Chain A
Amino acid sequence: MTRVQMIGVSKRYPGRGANAAPVVAVDDVTIDVASGEIHAIIGYSGAGKSTLLRLVNGLEHASDGRILVGDDEITSLRESKLREVRGRIGMIFQQFNLFHSKRVAKNVEYPLVVAGVPAAERKRRVAELLEFVGLSEKTNAFTDQLSGGQKQRVGIARALATNPGVLLADEATSALDPQTSREVLSLLKRVNAEFGITIILITHEMEVVREIADRVTVMDGGSAVEQGDVFDVFSDPQSQTTKRFVATALPTEPRAERLDELRERHRGRLISLTFRDGDVDQPVVFRTLAERGVGVSIVHGGITDVGGRSFGKLTLELIGDDLKVEHAIAALAQETALEVLA
């Protein structure tokens, strides 16, 4: 149960060459992650999200701004105190970063040894953790005998060993296939639900955000360009970056080329409707059209789940007498926001 606050955080690296300007990796980012929240930071590679994550547990030091993890102010701690705090912040990695020279149990035990936990207690805890991630039978295996998904589960068990209040996930599913990726995400969901651990995860995949995050920060060029509830941000994207991400995973209005194709094939009027968590009643839409004697076919888009709420964009072809179609569009406009495409 830990709140994480990043307040006006920046990270600059010295530029290469004598008079080179410093490289700004993270630029004045403020994120307040509530206790028990799953917060996703999404961005393309080079957006600064990896660096930002490493500022949270002090693997790198912020150039400006403050970071608080619970009551500990990371940005003002000495290295020795920082080490102690890191024991209360779990971290998992894209490449898992397990110790190949150690067996599974020894990997999970490692943070407990670092924390000075007595041997008997360590043994009990390791068994408990491997049970939780469903890998009890792999206790004595070496890590190179595990599949990618199993490796990440060991990584999660290891990160949870010291009962941290926060878990940092650095592209934790990017190296996994879609099926395994979903399994790992649902494990993270369980970690969050059962232990109330705050999770900060960085990713470049919309699917990950959609699947498990409560809130999201979109990063671009080191800055946080958009932030809020996953549903709010993705159902009504403001920045170009967010729009591009949304287009990768959510139903959208047809792009220009696609619209030309649709016009070729469909002679009727094309309109686009946005369905946001039931604010437009689909039956009402279709009844309105039917009552006015207008035929409908759905030609583009769909309905999907975002942050546990439904979101959709449908492009409809309206078929019928021009006047009837005009009236139907006017009537629909009373009910909902619509856009006439053609």
Chain B
Amino acid sequence: MDNLIELISNGKFIEATIQTLTYVVIAMGLGGVLGLVLGVLLTVTRQGGVLQSRGVYVVLNFLVNFFRPIPFVILIAAIQPLARVVVGTGIGDRALIFVLTFAATFGIARLVEQNLLTVPPGVIEASRAMGAGPWRTILTVLIPEGLGPVVLGYTFAFIAVVDMTAMAGVIGGGGLGNLALQYGYRQFNPWVTWAAVLLIIIIVQIVQLLGNVIARKLLRR
């Protein structure tokens, strides 16, 4: 208990919270955009899509299937060399954010694809019948029509990324997960662990609530 109070008063908890939020926001920002692009491409290049292309679909689908099942803690180690090339370092915050973004991109791609596939094909056909080209159809019909479920997908992804940040310590990152492990678990101080868990739950609840509100507005339910 004393330890917990000390960690709160010396700013460790605030620092860790800010770190977690920073990791997640950046990874979701970059991975969100890249995943959206990848997910849209998966949707439109598959059989019957507005930009049907078997070759592109097979390649993208393989990439997503290849990277998505790798457990995050293994992925950190596996793509460390790539992180060194892209962000110049294999450890620390920058490397962590790189791996988070990498994992988020492939995860989100699949979520986006699954949710965009719920858009009725008739609506896409109507757009084509009115003379719209494939890109116009994608940007002004496919994405807006599927946005409600896609937002729920992003909410899900956000929480998954929060989950991944717990592994930050492996390559010298920080955040609430690391705090819980380092000061709570390893120092036999469950109060610290529970406090970190509570903060994570609060973050997750706020995001879930926000996602639900936005999705409900878009779905008008």
Contacts and interface: CB of A to CB of B under 8 A. Distances in A.
Contacts of A89: 129
Interface stretch (A35-43, A110-118, A262-270, A319-327): A110-118
A101 B122 contact: no
Given A99-B144, A101-B218, A84 B122 contact: no
Contacts of B130: 86-87, 91, 110-111, 114, 158, 162
Interface string A80-112: 100111110101010101111110000000110
Given A95-B122, A101-B144, A102-B144, A144 B129 contact: no
A129 to B, nearest CB: 14
A114 B131 contact: yes
Interface in B114-148: 120, 122-123, 125-133, 136, 140-141, 144-145, 147
A10 interface: no
Contact of B147 (A84, A101, A162): A101
A86 B125 CA distance: 12
Interface residues of B, number: 20
B220 interface: yes
Highest count of chain A CB atoms <10 Å: which of B122, B129, B132, B141: B129
A182 B179 CA distance: 70
Q: Is the interface of A mostly helix, strand, loop or mixed?
A: mixed
A252 interface: no
A142 B220 contact: yes
Interface residues of A, number: 28
A293 to B, nearest CB: 64
Interface of B: 120, 122-123, 125-133, 136, 140-141, 144-145, 147, 218, 220
16 contacts: A59-B129, A86-B130, A91-B130, A93-B126, A97-B120, A99-B123, A99-B141, A101-B147, A110-B127, A110-B140, A111-B130, A111-B131, A113-B140, A114-B130, A114-B132, A142-B220
Closest 3 CB pairs of A and B: A97-B126, A87-B131, A111-B130
